[in-house]
Chains A and B, each alone.
Chain A
Amino acid sequence: MGKVTQLANTETSANHRDPQDMSLPGDVGFWTFITADASLFALLFFQFSHDRSSQPAVFDEGQRDLIVLLGTVNTLVLVTSSWLMASAVRNMYRHSVRMGLRLIAGTAALGVVFAALKISEYVLTLRSGHTVSTSPFFMYYFVITGIHLAHLILGVVVLIIVGWRLRAGIRGPLDRTFLECGAAYWHLVDLLWMFIFPMLYLAR
């Protein structure tokens, strides 16, 4: 909170990160949001595991009908996007604004690819006769991946806003906060998927 004003006083800190700076990226308050959101997913995962252990046969049967290939491709898409976003932040701090903006656009584009694949996966799953009310497994499948997809779509919107705001590079501490919060949120979307994918698609 006080960090922003403190940073405004030091001339260079708006434009690059001091390697000795161990503070959290972005706004400290924003990490409350990340923590709250991650806790909600933790509750979801806990509830899923709890229900799974009470009827493992139903969950295993449902899992066999998931399209693991699309899930795997989407995992690669998200990991790549996270890497692009990290490079975007690095480039922004090095004043290679054009490259940074391209990388942010690339991250957002991969987000759109993920969403398109996910929606195709929903259509295929629905066509093969599985809906929210088919079994508890498919209820969780649609709800958990749906909530994640909503997070991802919000993330794409955030990336577009961040890219638009930083179109002339980092001009002040608030630009820096925007960039780091946007990146942190995107990594959260990626990280959540890293839990969801093995839990829904792979775990036996």
Chain B
Amino acid sequence: MTKNESQLTRLCAWTVAVYFVLFGIGWGVLGRMIPPYPASMPAADLAQIFRDNASTLRIGFAVAAFSTTFFYLWSVGLFRVMVRTERGGKILSYTVLIGGVLTGNDLMFSCFIWLTAAFRPEQDPALIQLLYDLGWLMLDLAFGVAMLYMIAFGVIVLRDAREKPLFPKWLAWIGIWAAMEFLAELIMPFFRSGPFSWSGLFNYWVPFFVPATWMVIVSVYMHKAATRLNEEYESGLPQHVEHTTIG
């Protein structure tokens, strides 16, 4: 990895901080999504909240939708490190790239849907509820795109045969586990309250906050990896070495 690419990759690793700050403030605080309103809330109550807080909700979801820009940048940076980590064809690296980009996209579109609800809060409460439902169902049930990059990342890291791997193996396993946990979202549409609803333990707290923490740790190692890859390049080590024979 040349010096320039290494610097840009480290910059991409930092964008995760920008993303989380903007998304946290926009979606979480102003958008009132930590925790979200339960699916069991009556339409009239939900509409009242949208009417009372229309301005903050609008700015919140608009900022949150914009914040995904930095999610895309982060995905590109991770992709470049994956390319240097993956042995053989780069199929899994590209899976990381499209998985990351589509996850950002899913987050962005859900924010647009909630923004639409906040845009004309005076309308029929049933419509506000419909949009609120749609946003949540879309965000949660598109978990497959996040699985793509989390599992592909895991497999690449586990197959990294470097003497000292670029990413720790436990981080790969945490990602794979968190991706599997997303499958609990499959039963989310059956519940309007309780631990499996969109505001519950297993379909909100675990699948949102575990992967978020995982992403931050991945970024720290991504930053370190970019430095190491540049050192490998400077010291004249061949770039895609098959370090040891496996199996």
Contact = CB atoms under 8 A, between A and B. Distances in A.
B170 A29 contact: yes
B142 interface: no
Interface in A159-191: 165, 171-172, 174-175
Nearest to B243: A5
Interface residues of A, number: 28
B168 A1 contact: yes
B42 interface: no
A108 B34 CA distance: 43
B165 interface: yes
Chain B interface, >50% SS class: helix
Nearest to A37: B177
Contacts, number: 61
Interface in A1-56: 1, 5, 8, 27-30, 32-33, 36-37, 40, 43-44, 47
Most chain B beta-carbon contacts within 10 A, residue among A33, A143, A146: A33
A150 interface: yes
Chain A interface, >50% SS class: helix
Contacts of A136: 194
A175 B165 CA distance: 19
Contacts of A40: 181, 202, 206
B235 interface: no
A139 interface: yes
25 contacts: A1-B169, A5-B163, A5-B244, A28-B170, A29-B170, A29-B172, A32-B170, A32-B174, A32-B177, A36-B174, A37-B177, A40-B181, A43-B201, A43-B202, A43-B206, A44-B202, A132-B187, A132-B190, A136-B194, A139-B194, A143-B187, A146-B187, A165-B247, A174-B247, A175-B247
Given A29-B168, A29-B170, A172-B247, 13 more contacts: A5-B163, A28-B170, A29-B172, A33-B176, A36-B177, A37-B180, A40-B181, A43-B206, A47-B195, A150-B183, A171-B247, A172-B246, A174-B246
Interface of A: 1, 5, 8, 27-30, 32-33, 36-37, 40, 43-44, 47, 132-133, 136, 139, 143, 146-147, 150, 165, 171-172, 174-175
